[in-house]
Structure 1
Amino acid sequence: MRITFACLLLLSATVSSQNEHFIKFKNQHIIGRMDVNSCDQVMEERGIAEADSNRCKDDHAFILANTDQVNNVCRLAGEPYGVYTESLLPFDIVICSLKNQGARRPHCQYQGQSLTTKIAFRCEEGFPVYYGRDNVAYFRN
């Protein structure tokens, strides 16, 4: 009985950890609709900054899709791309680029750019958990 309880507790902790990574990814990168002029507002509302600081991020990508569409890249609609999974089809995205370098929240000012391109991110257990910022398709020609 104790072993069963311990296994259930361990499984619960694993699922909880997975959910935390996906929830963070979802907050930081998935948005149904967004105008390119909304970068300042969305970045501030979602509390997006450099890790463990209040420094403004130099650039950031938002995927204009619903959660199921993005999750599906990890399951059926993606292919391996190094350590990432790349979407088979292009997505609409908004790239927010910092205009005032070195700024700190809440004084970040961004320029938005709309693109349609394939996206790449790391998947764990069928969920996106890390946007492949350095390997994203929009940086390729």
Structure 2
Amino acid sequence: MKISIFAGVLLISAALIFLGPDTADATSFDTRHVNMGMKADQCTAVMNEGIRRLNQANTFCKSTNTFLTGDNAYHTGTICRSGERGKVWPQNHNLRISLDIYPLVECNLKNKGAKYPDCDYTGVAYTNRTIIVSCTSDKGGGVPFHIEGNLVKYK
């Protein structure tokens, strides 16, 4: 009986080690960069709510943030895996370019240097963008944890 309990604990520990920080990173990526149906004119409200929710009052406003807004917004997990939904960014092997096109809203701070709650944002909506993401691993795996930029995708 002691051996089977030990084996069970060992198996659970191995599974948690295997999952590692990627699970948390994928969840935080979605929290920070996915907002289904968001419109460009909602940037100020969405960004300020994010600052409030993270208890970062009295901090400087974030200068920019990108939100994926379309039906495929939650399908970013394989961008970091070579040959699946992303390819290596030539200048930095820790970055990947999505092969898929994402509708998105890019929010940019109007009043540079402002502190919360005085953050005022302008938003621009795009429908034909690929995204450049930072990955948790530069070895052809991992998950996205930050959107570094976006590019026009020509068909």
Larger helix share, 1 or 2: 1
The alignment status of 1:127 with 2:130, answered yes or no, reads no
CA–CA distance in structure 1, aligned partners of residues 68 and 36 of structure 2: 8
**Normalising by the residue count of structure 1, what TM-score does the alignment of the two structures yield?**
0.76
Kindly report the root-mean-square deviation, in angstroms, between the aligned alpha carbons of the 2 structures. Answer: 2.8
The alignment status of 1:63 with 2:75, answered yes or no, reads no
- Match of 2:51, SS state, is coil
CA contact (8 A) 1:99 1:110 kept: yes
Match of 1:39 among 18, 38, 43: 43
CA–CA distance in structure 1, aligned partners of residues 26 and 66 of structure 2: 16
Equivalent residue, structure 1, for 2:103: 92
- Match of 1:37, SS state, is helix
**Normalising by the residue count of structure 2, what TM-score does the alignment of the two structures yield?**
0.70
CA contact (8 A) 1:74 1:128 kept: yes
> How far did 1:57 drift?
1.1
Letter aligned with residue 46 of structure 1: G
- Give the aligned length: 134
Query: Does 72-81 or 18-27 show the bigger shift?
Result: 72-81
Identity of aligned residues (%): 23
The alignment status of 1:54 with 2:79, answered yes or no, reads no
CA–CA distance in structure 2, aligned partners of residues 33 and 70 of structure 1: 17
Letter aligned with residue 33 of structure 2: H
CA–CA distance in structure 2, aligned partners of residues 67 and 19 of structure 1: 17
Change (3 A) 1:19 1:89: closer
Deviation by residue 1:35-87 (Cα, 9 ceiling, x = unmatched): 10000111122228xxx772101111111234542224335221111321111
> How far did 1:14 drift?
5.7
- Specify every segment of 5 or more residues in structure 1 that has no aligned partner in the other structure, as ranges: none
